Structure 1
């Protein structure tokens, strides 16, 4: 039986990944084992097909969009560092004083703003920096299925965009999206406790 640190040596670029994601070495080791389990053919990367093995994503109405977030810019594979970089958005926010953070360092991936950016891109399908009525309607269709009529969905999409759209351009920008969620506890709702 080896120690945790001896097993950690198999994780490429461990120190940089720890700094960037905020994950502990023990968490990274658990995630590395999960990554390897999903990588059934030992390719060293995951594809869309590999993610289809995750049951929770299969039943999540936004599962396909979440999986797509692992493959930015049309990539068809994600390595371990890319895998944990996306998961870091769901790491619970540290309870430390934000004033203690070095302002020269990049904002943590699990910060409120980065969590909001992650959520925003789940809606902004065409990556134009705005959530259109059509994009909002698509997400609503995914989330409620056939339980609501098309007319009701259109009304909800119209009202949602209209309430958030402060500049009157008929779409929701990231800043408008963030402002519309300012009272929501995004830090808690977008956290998975096992990702410490």
Structure 2
């Protein structure tokens, strides 16, 4: 798996790289300190799987970087790893196309678990946004619905989801409409957030 780290603090990037490689020895990590550097890496490596991105980039708009990177590498899953964990910030990042949100303030063991979760293809959100099992009714999804939901959570456009699953775009749109109804949500952002809160997607491992 190829992972891109976008953070303007070299020391944090180094620590995160070591942690990622400790979690999975097969991981290849690329580093960038600016949005321009990140876009150059994304353009060169079409098989990047994840981008771990800090919102607090000196002199740059980290939130805009989420959409910028997705525009260059539509299949990449962006995970925001940053200091703030305000619900409004989390929602803005998901709305921009991020798959998950990990607060930098997380304890080391929590950070490691969160990284393992997103590396396995699942959605991770701050603990404050999670709900207990007693607060929601079980949502039963078919295997194909879960496949489409996983694509939505990675921020993939409908065309890419259709290509990956060997379906027509029309069929994928029908699945998305059915998912919105099952999840009782109105858009992709709400679907991703609810998926993370309820831990609906098992890991790919």
Mark yes or no: TM-score above 0.5: no
Flag the structure with higher strand content: 2
Shorter-chain TM-score range: 0.3 to 0.5
Q: Which has the larger radius of gyration?
A: 1
Q: TM (normalized to structure 1)?
A: 0.38
